[in-house]
Structure 1
Amino acid sequence: MAKYKNKLTAAAFLLIVAGFAAGWFGFAGVKTAALVVATVLAGTPIFLKAVQSVRMRVFSIDVLVTIAVVGAVYLQEFTESSVVTFLFLFGDFLEARTLEKTRSSLRKLVDMAPQEATVVRDGDEVTVPVEEVVIGDRVIIRPGGKVPVDGSIVSGQADLSEAAVTGEAVPVGKALGDAVYSGTIVDNGYIEIVAEKVGDDTTFAKIIELVEEAQESKSKAEKFLDSFAAYYTPAIMVLAVLVFIVTRDLKLAITFLVIACPGALVIGAPVSSVAGIGNGAKHGVLIKGGEIMDTLSKVDTVVFDKTGTLTKGKPEVTDVKVFGKMNVEELLRLIGTAETISEHHLGRVIVKEAKARDLALGAEVENGEVVKGHGVRAVVDGVALVIGNRALLELAGVPLAGEAAEYAVEREKAGNMAVFAAVDGELAGIISIADQIRDDAREALAELRKNGVRKMIMLTGDNRHTAELVAAQLGMDEFVAEMLPEQKAAFVKRLKDEGRVVAMAGDGINDAPAIATADIGLAMGEGGTDISMETAGVVLMADKLGQLSHAYSLAKATIRNMKQNTAFAIGTAVVLLIGVLYGSVHLASGMFIHEASVVLVILNAMRLIRFGAGSRFWFRFGGKIAGGRAGGVEAVSR
């Protein structure tokens, strides 16, 4: 019956028009017959849904309308019965159409999913369904083609549009060794990649899954309204019976029943949530559900990891200083080989530098140990290595003094991170690594302050000198340096115990405990690890802090939109009920206003789809700017 609903709606409308025309020409019998048939046609799907609801012991709006229509037919008020059933179906049609638009971001994402891939097998190019691509396949993507899987470039170069993943419209240049993601499009150029993630494990597939789950997840307001409707509808039925008992006016009781339907009230919050989540997906921000949206809107304190969050996350080796007899290349070869066992970003930078110098890193790593938050220990080519921060040197009993100590402090004050390397118990070298602050960091932080964030804090495992320099440049309220992952989590917990609503932004495995502890976790998606993305409630796919300020503003706008819809729905219901009791609102007119209110709350929610595209002034919130800056506290970490 559902697939014929639109046709039944159209037929009912034509019959109602024909009936009124016949009545105008004096054919009363024809008018009655047309309106009766219209009532039956439009009322059938409503009646069937009502029966299903009763069987499931649910008092739905369809039950209320069915009772009202039966009563109107009993009173031979065929105009009311036909108009009410038509308006109910037509309103359902409009709801479906407008709700579909709010889900357009997800639909567009699904439509953008690649279907085929060109792979090289046995020396030949073969086009296969994307589901048949396996890890290790060599995949060819030509101009205009979609990247079917996640992988890294092994041949060629190209400009890729990553809008589907990051929300960024400007193509990004990619070359040998760069990572590419499923769903992105080769704007110009030619590349060959090795498949590293396929099927449901690709970034694009995870985005679709997260957005689908988020749009099904309900906010506290939605959950409350669902519970409210479960009690509200039966209560209205009881009140309608009381109205009839008191007034002995069946038509009034029926009108009361229809007018009190909680349609706009029940749908107002969900459609706002869906529209807000869809807007986020369109702008490369994955907000994992209505409850996350609600909490994000209340955040007053944001805690940032430094490297990869406030900075670009692409540090480079700026200097290698040797203390001892070993030359730079040999020391860097040993360190790079040992660091291959580490997932830490600094370790990856050292490995990258060693490879860039064409140093052979194929030696076996013996007794390799990653000391969480400090560095690594390993034996390479019979040489015992300790590589990490000051704390690891102390644990290993390696002295740091004199020229080496002075050099390290000098490099740190210049904004570098110092990685110490000891060989056979003696300090052998210091590797300086520097990172740059993100281009959009200052503007994004200013926007967050403007929209209501009162305090911003930077936590980092880096040295105090570098942390102080970055915090000063960004105007952070507070910073804490040389922290272990568990210390970051404890710091966030302390802020929550103080009554703050805390968001934690990070990108690495070491940030996952703090992200999980915070009220809201914010993960940098493109450069972040899978664990931080899974732990976080909000994922910024383009690694741009501007997306964070957009997400925060969007959350506030969405919750405000929910409140607007709820207030409008309640206000409309109160006015209509007063009108019914005073006799100025009748069944057909009341039903028309009721359905119009449903459509209006949906249209109001649909404004969120355009939020951030020239319409931000509709939703902008004021916020107090927090000031002041505290000094740093030293802990121990890499």
Structure 2
Amino acid sequence: MNRLHRWLNGKWAVPVVSGLLIIASWVAGGLGGAWNPTLTPQWWVDAGAHATGSAFFALADAFMLAAAVVAGYGIVVKAVRSLLVKHISIDLLVSVAAVGAVIIGNFWEAAAVTFLFSVGHALEAATLNKTRSALAELVAVAPDVAVVMRDGEQQEIPANQVRMGEIVLVKNGAKVPVDGQVVAGSGAIDEASITGESIPVEKSEADVVFAGTVSRGGFLQVLATGVGADTTLARIIHRVEEAQDAKARTQAFIDRFSKWYTPGVMLLALVAGLVTGDVVLALTLLVIGCPGALVISIPVAIVAGIGRSARNGILIKGGEFLETSAKISAVAVDKTGTLTEGTPKLTDVIVLDPTSKRSEVLRWAAAAEAGSEHPLARPILDSAREEGIAPTGIPGEVTPVPGKGIVSEVEGKRVLIGNPPLLEQYGIYDDAGSAERAKELAAQGRTPMIVAVEDRVIGLIGVADQIREDAPEMVRRLHAAGVEKVVMLTGDTRLVAESIGAATGIDEIHASLLPEDKLDAVAALQAQGHTVAMVGDGVNDAPALATADIGVAMGAAGSAVAVETADIALMGDNLLKLPEAIGLAKRTVGVMKQNIAVALVTVVALLAGVFAGGVTMSIGMLVHEASVLVVILNAMRLLRNAGGVTAMPRKVRTAPRARAETEASHA
């Protein structure tokens, strides 16, 4: 009984019942000799059953009228509801045509129009659900249960009942139920549902894991830091839902167009009926003028495109940003953490003062950097710790000098670490030739930092950040995707920037930039007529990211702010997702244009067919619904991966490293 109830309330109940009534009408008409009187059996004629035949004809009309009522009732209700909110909908066109056909006694046309319209709606619903399959897949990966440690025992509870700060156990094959940090154990985690990467990531103590990912081996104890709606997966689902409903500029135009187009069709039908006196012609114009394919052409492509990108670990904020991304002609990229690994290492400690030792230069530098949040402080402190000369106690006061370095108070002495302009600002004479030595290091792709104690230069520190393996391939694929110019924006020195630019194939380099300089560089590209995407992950990139036409956040899986605010959020740490996102945007906009063309050509062809003769109401509705399905099926092509845009195969990776949030202003 429940199954029957569900079926009667399903999308196929109305078209099936209406279709059966149409078949019953044909059968009754056949028995009455309606199909072809010359084929009426002789025994039927001899029996004088003309009256009975007439009864069959009446029954055939009744069945056909019933089919029109069954299929048309919901359509009329929707039309009336739309009128109540002062909206002339497609349902109104079909309703008027069907009611008019019934009034003039053309029951077949009324039934055919409403039946085909209801079939079209059912097919649209089924195929549109398919275009939203990526969102359904995201919802499906949400974990149902979690194993937590409570009162010293393992307890299996619903995932949404895990409390912040609890220890969750993740066993082989289980879904990770929370966002959290590994506190014990090791294992491989499949993060495809979050980052789109199919290769598992090795996790161990202090690494971050995400809800909805799956253990492919090992055993982890995870401290819950995000539960329920506060997980990365929940934020992604929410973001995709909003993005799929957001309208592109083209869609907004189509919506405005349809508000005038639909009343225009009704006026055209009325004028044609009055001028020609042909009611059937007027009703036919109502049917074939339905802008269904035109109205659905844009949203179905957006839903499919955004869904496909989400499945690949690329979050696009909405249709407007998808459309803008297809026009990107210049990409500006931050260096640290984008083109490079974001984990710089100490490479050189050069002594420039004859009275100092190597260990002293490193010790002063580490002590000065101990209170700094700069990413280049970490490799210096790590090296000092390895050599047993790490600073102890509470760090002294640190004053950052944007674009130049830092000034720190250590053991009652002023210590400067930075570039030659920093020395000039504080009136320190470079009698050790540190500027020349810094240029030599920079030419080798290293970031040089001069170390001065009080008014004396004692040495030079060199730090290098490895170029990411996929950076050159990213630049190549961006060019292949139609991007004219790839620009590097960095606070590092020009020599370091040029070394990295040469290795990656960057078209244009802007070095030694302050945050506001990056903004100006993006604005200059826009002034040249470019649609600019800015890629960065640092606080000092924020002005440029906001100014760019499209702001792209790299490695956003661990950042709630990036997921919610970036125009495009690349969840993984894979640079090749950027050209993939642009390529997918171009494909989506291409499908949108194709769909609009199909819709317009169909309407024009049907109009010509009506005035030329031969296109009836039923044929018009059949072609109309066929065009709607063509538009949807065309959009569904976006759900397939396009060859050549997916990421290169990569080796099993270790957990994503913490990425630098600021540029190398020490340079």
Deviation at 1:180, TM superposition (A): 2.3
| Aligned-residue offset at 1:544 | 1.9
> Secondary structure of the residue that 2:492 maps to in structure 1?
coil
Could you tell me which residue of structure 2 aligns to residue 213 of structure 1?
Answer: 242
Give the Å deviation of 1:425.
5.4
Query: Which residue number corresponds to residue 65 of structure 2?
Result: 36
Q: 1:524 touches 1:539 (CA, 8 Å); kept in 2?
A: yes
User: What is the rounded CA distance, in whole Å, between the counterparts of 2:95 and 2:199 in structure 1?
Assistant: 54
Alignment partner for residue 558 of structure 1, among 588, 592, 604?
588
- What is the CA–CA distance in structure 2 between the aligned matches of 1:347 and 1:615, rounded to whole Å? 37
Residue identity over aligned pairs, in percent, reads: 45
Correspondences of 1:47-196 after superposition (within 5 Å) = 47-196=76-225
Distance 1:140 1:332 in 2: 42
Q: Deviations over 1:306-343 (max 9, x none)?
A: 1111222232233445663664774465245313xx1x
Which residue pairs with 2:448 in the alignment? 418
Aligned match of 2:20: 14
Structure 1 length as normaliser, TM-score?
0.90
Compared CA separation, residues 117 and 5, structure 1 to 2 (3 A):
closer
Structure 1 residues 307-316 or 287-296, which shifts more?
307-316
Deviations 1:16-46 (A, max 9, x none): 1222122222232222121121111111111
Letter of the 2:493 partner, please give it.
N
In the other structure, the counterpart of 2:655 is none
Among candidates 266, 275, 292, match of residue 304 of structure 2: 275
1:630 corresponding residue in structure 2: none
| Cα distance in 2, alignment partners of residues 60 and 334 from structure 1 | 72
Tell me, yes or no, if the aligned pair for 2:420 and 2:435 is still in contact at 8 Å.
no
For 2:29, the equivalent position in structure 1 comes to 23
2:261 is aligned with 1:232: yes
SS of residue paired to 1:114: coil
Relative distance call for 1:561 and 1:479 in structure 2 (3 A) is same
Alpha-carbon distance in structure 2 between the residues aligned to 1:193 and 1:321: 43
For residues 260-317 of structure 1, what are the alpha-carbon distances to aligned partners after superposition, in whole Å with 9 as ceiling and x for unaligned?
A: 0000001011111111111111111111111111111111111111111122223223
Gaps of 5+ in 1: 617-634
2:535 paired with 1:505: yes
The Cα of 1:532 is off from its aligned counterpart by: 5.3
Distance 1:529 1:120 in 2: 27
Q: In structure 2, what is the equivalent of residue 595 of structure 1?
A: 625
1:169 and 1:399, CA in 2 relative to 1: closer, same or farther beyond 3 A?
farther
CA contact (8 A) 2:402 2:665 kept: no
Deviation at 1:113, TM superposition (A): 1.9
> Which runs of structure 2 are paired with 1:288-437 in the superposition (5 Å)?
288-321=317-350, 324=356, 327=360, 330-331=363-364, 334-335=367-368, 337-339=370-372, 342=373, 344-350=374-380, 363-379=393-409, 384-402=414-432, 404-424=434-454, 426-427=456-457, 430-437=460-467
Counterpart Cα distance in 2 of 1:505 and 1:90: 46
List runs of 5+ in structure 2 lacking aligned partners: 1-5, 33-55, 647-663
Confirm or deny: 8 A CA contact 1:32 1:78 kept in the other structure: yes
SS at match of 2:328: coil
Tell me which of 505, 524, 546 is aligned to 1:475. Answer: 505
Aligned partners of 1:357, 1:387: CA distance in 2, in Å?
Answer: 20
Contact 2:442 2:493 in 1 (8 A): yes
Residues 232 and 560 in structure 2, CA contact (< 8 A), matched pair in contact too: no
User: 1:420: how far off?
Assistant: 4.1
Rounded Cα–Cα distance in structure 2 between residues aligned with 1:215 and 1:231: 25
Segment of structure 1 superposing worse, 175-184 or 71-80: 175-184
User: CA–CA distance in 1 between the matches of 2:200 and 2:542?
Assistant: 30
Q: Distance in 2 between matches of 1:388 and 1:117?
A: 50
Tell me if the contact between 1:391 and 1:637 (Cα under 8 Å) persists in the aligned partners. no
Q: Conserved in 2, the CA contact under 8 Å of 1:391 and 1:636? A: no
Partner of 1:516: 546
Contact 1:483 1:637 in 2 (8 A): no
CA distance in 2: counterparts of 1:34 and 1:615, whole angstroms = 55
Residues 28 and 367 of structure 1: CA distance in aligned 2, closer, same or farther (over 3 Å): same
User: Which residue among 240, 256, 280 is the counterpart of 2:285?
Assistant: 256
Deviations 1:84-107 (A, max 9, x none): 111111101111111111111111
- Deviates further, 203-212 or 383-392: 383-392
Q: Counterparts of 2:395 and 2:472 in 1: how far apart (Å)?
A: 42
Q: The residue matched to 2:448 in structure 1 has which SS? A: strand
Matching residue's letter, 1:235: G
CA distance in 1, matches of 2:375, 2:573: 15
Counterparts in 2 of 1:247 and 1:293: CA distance versus 1, 3 Å? same
Q: Report the residue type matching 1:10 in the other structure.
A: V
Q: Take 1:564 and 1:219, find their aligned partners in 2: how far apart are those partners?
A: 16
1:146, distance to aligned residue in structure 2 (A): 2.2
Contact 1:103/1:275 (8 A) holds in 2: yes
The residue that corresponds to 1:626 in the other structure is none
AA aligned to 1:578 is A
* Structure 1 residues 536-560: Cα deviation after superposition (integer angstroms, max 9, x where no partner): 3112222222111111111111111
Deviations 1:365-400 (CA, angstroms, capped at 9, x unpaired): 343444444444444665654444444444444554
Partner of 1:627: none
Partners of 1:335 and 1:113 in 2: CA distance: 46
Deviation at 1:108, TM superposition (A): 0.7
Distance verdict in 2 for CA 1:516–1:156, change over 3 Å = same
> How many residues end up aligned between the 2 structures?
617
The Cα offsets for residues 560-581 of structure 1, whole Å up to 9 and x where unpaired, read as 1111100110000000111112
- Distance in 1 between residues matched to 2:124 and 2:148, nearest whole Å: 44
